[in-house]
Amino acid sequence: MSTVNLSAYKFVGLDDLPALRERVRERCHALALKGTILLAPEGINLFLAGPREATDAFMAWLREDTRFADIVPKESISDGAPFGRMRVRLKKEIITMRMPAIRPEGERAPSVTPATLRRWLDQGRDDDGREVVLLDTRNDYETDVGLFEQAIDYRIASFTEFPAAIAADRERYDGKTVVSYCTGGIRCEKAVLHMQDIGMKCVFQLEGGILKYFEETDGAHWRGDCFVFDDRGAVDKQLLPASTDELPTGEKEP
């Protein structure tokens, strides 16, 4: 039986974390799902795997909570569950940046759809004729597996290093349209809000990240595979497990 792998997040204010954790954990165990769900005052970040009926049932249950009614997961298929267990964890942030002034739950970052980015990259410019610069906000071990052609890669070891890296390189982006990207959208959303805070203009996130880009386009302008935070190690442009034995695998957090 095929396994459905879900990746989703939402920045939304949560003030009932211990009780929410117990409800989520009970529901996941009842459905025999495996994966990791992170809960923090700023929102939810989830990676789940299981049979179609179970993943659909969980998402339907989650959306009964009005705070998560519009959450839309990215999906991929594998032969088995790439997680060994089910964890629901409470965190200070669902993606650690250590910039408390950044409050994504208050206002979403501007974004471009995968189809729009694909068209911009084909054109070599955005719809206003500005040069488009792709900015990878992921860690170095992720970009080693694959990245967009000609993307800027700061080779950071942790997302907490991103603010310093962008501050030292701001002039590079003057007069250009910047599209930040990451695996599923969560890091590049925080990155865009930070770039706006330091006065950068024309900055966007890739809506849904690399996974949504693979889902909605043919993956043009991408080189390699996409690192994922589970035992698959990486997925290819068809969102299938990449065929390599050289990737670091296991349950990790971005």
Q: Which residues are part of the catalytic machinery?
A: 182
CA distance 168 to 84: 40
CA distance 79 to 5: 10
CB atoms within 10 A of CB 186: 25
What amino acid is encoded at 31 in this protein? L
CA distance 229 to 252: 5
Going by C-alpha positions, the residue among 1, 13, 7 that lies closest to residue 81 is 1
Whether the Cβ atoms of residue 134 and residue 152 lie closer than 8 Å to each other: yes
Going by C-alpha positions, the residue among 25, 6, 34 that lies closest to residue 89 is 25
CB atoms within 10 A of CB 207: 23
Q: What is the largest CA-CA distance in the chain?
A: 53
Whether the Cβ atoms of residue 214 and residue 238 lie closer than 8 Å to each other: yes
